[in-house]
């Protein structure tokens, strides 16, 4: 994935302007959700709406770029937490990131739902988004399986899709009922993916049948 | 949950008519998704659109009643498969039910996403829907934990919310990419909830420390 969706800005100044607009949109949606207006976003940067349209031809282009940035931040946060304290803390951090930024979480859910329609302009984008996310998470989980930090009795690509599904589904439940502690549920889910002592012993027995 | 959302039909004939309309709407959405028109639904029953409006005042009322029916069918199908062959087959059956009826699955995803907005008229409906589903699944999982058919080292209410989340999330992924085998992924997910041989032995050791 790349943040340079619009190749028309050939100069550095143009790239900076695009980045300013994207960051302003990210912050406006973080604060106000999808109700954030293009005018509000243009005002934050000090440009006109047509200038904004030069960088992001449609509202959807801008919203998808914001979602891309949210995906990236989410991965950084989950990755940082996981590298220190393992997958349980990584998934909890990911859930907390969602509930700390409800406007961005809601953007993700509603854009994704709208794009399930094959005729939606964002349909192909989401197909590729999930494919890329699934591939990345699979790679990460395979590494954890090799390191003995994740149960290795189930295929990593299935577990990766399940992890993504659980995070999507929990965000939806939280939006319907903010009293649901989805960080705690995400932790529980991460725990069922831990290699159990029994499974480890069983694997050892398989590897060293004489012992 | 009940199917009698409109108490205005005091006669049996009225209840039958309501049921005919609901069933026609269910079938129309199963075939054509949300594009199914009220006129098409009215035609299937042989009533006028105003007659339809008598039973379901708004389009949302009708769509939510269809979703309620889908939830019920889904639970019956998952329950029947699970009672014969356990949770793995129950979750796979549930995923297959979703992919066999894409129009109904899409209705569920889009209505739920739209209702995440607290100002949506369906917001309270979905809050209650998830609460009721979570309570039912929790009860079912607690029974399975007692029967030794489900790992008992994690709280049933967390696992229930995770099961609902994974089913929602996998449906979304499948709608973005129908080549993803979500029934197989749901089976993998159900397998990680199975009591591991090691965990079982550990529980036995806890219960009978002398053995």
- Over chain B (211 residues), the average pLDDT of each successive run of 10 is 51 86 97 91 95 94 94 88 82 92 93 90 92 94 93 96 96 96 96 73 46 41
Specify the CATH number of the domain B86-207: 1.10.357
Task: Select from B124, B73, B82, B121 the least CA-distant residue to B100.
Answer: B73
Domain ranges of chain A: 8-57, 67-207
Specify the CATH number of the domain A8-57: 1.10.10.60
Any chain B CB within 8 A of the CB of A207?
no
What is the structure's pLDDT at A4?
A: 52
- Tell me which residue in A154, A177, A197 faces B192 most closely, judged by beta carbons: A154
What is the structure's pLDDT at B172?
A: 96
What is the structure's pLDDT at A61?
A: 93
Structure token digits, residue B36: 């199914």
Residues of A in contact with B112 (CB under 8 A): 113, 172, 176
Gyration radius from chain A CA atoms: 20
Average pLDDT, chain A: 87
Cα–Cα distance for residue pair B87/B144, rounded to 1 Å: 9
Domain at B12-55, CATH homologous superfamily: Homeodomain-like (1.10.10.60)
Q: Please check whether the two domains, B12-55 and B86-207, share a CATH topology.
A: no
Cα–Cα distance for residue pair A112/B13, rounded to 1 Å: 42
- Tell me which residue in B130, B176, B200 faces A177 most closely, judged by beta carbons: B130
Closest chain A residue to the Cα of B198, Cα to Cα: A198
Which residues 47-86 on chain B approach chain A with CB closer than 8 angstroms?
none
Any chain A CB within 8 A of the CB of B31?
no
Q: Tell me: the pLDDT tens digits for A61-78?
A: 999 999 999 999 988 888
Cα–Cα distance for residue pair A172/A157, rounded to 1 Å: 23
Q: How many CB pairs under 8 A join A and B?
A: 152
At the top level of CATH, the class of A67-207 is mainly alpha
Cα–Cα distance for residue pair A130/A39, rounded to 1 Å: 31
> What is the value of ipTM here, to two decimals?
0.85
Which one is predicted more confidently, A51 or B207? A51
Task: Select from A111, A133, A115 the least CA-distant residue to A124.
Answer: A115
């Amino acid at each position: 994935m790349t943040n340079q969706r619009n190749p028309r800005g050939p100069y550095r100044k143009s790239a900076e302007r695009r980045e300013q607009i994207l960051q302003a949109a990210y912050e406006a949606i973080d604060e106000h959700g999808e109700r954030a207006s293009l005018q509000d976003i243009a005002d934050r940067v000090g440009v006109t709406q047509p200038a904004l349209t030069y960088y992001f031809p449609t509202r959807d282009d801008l919203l998808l770029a914001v979602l891309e940035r949210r995906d990236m931040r989410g991965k950084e946060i989950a990755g940082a937490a996981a590298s220190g304290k393992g997958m349980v803390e990584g998934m909890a951090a990911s859930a907390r990131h969602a509930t700390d930024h409800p406007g961005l979480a809601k953007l993700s859910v509603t854009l994704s739902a709208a794009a399930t329609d094959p005729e939606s302009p964002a349909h192909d984008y989401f197909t590729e988004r999930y494919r890329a996310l699934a591939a990345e998470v699979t790679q990460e989980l395979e590494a954890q399986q090799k390191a003995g930090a994740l149960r290795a009795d189930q295929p990593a690509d299935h577990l990766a899709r399940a992890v993504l599904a659980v995070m999507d589904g929990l965000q939806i439940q939280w939006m319907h009922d903010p009293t649901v502690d989805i960080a705690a549920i995400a932790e529980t889910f991460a725990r069922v993916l831990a290699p159990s002592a029994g499974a480890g012993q069983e694997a050892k027995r398989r590897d060293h049948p004489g012992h």
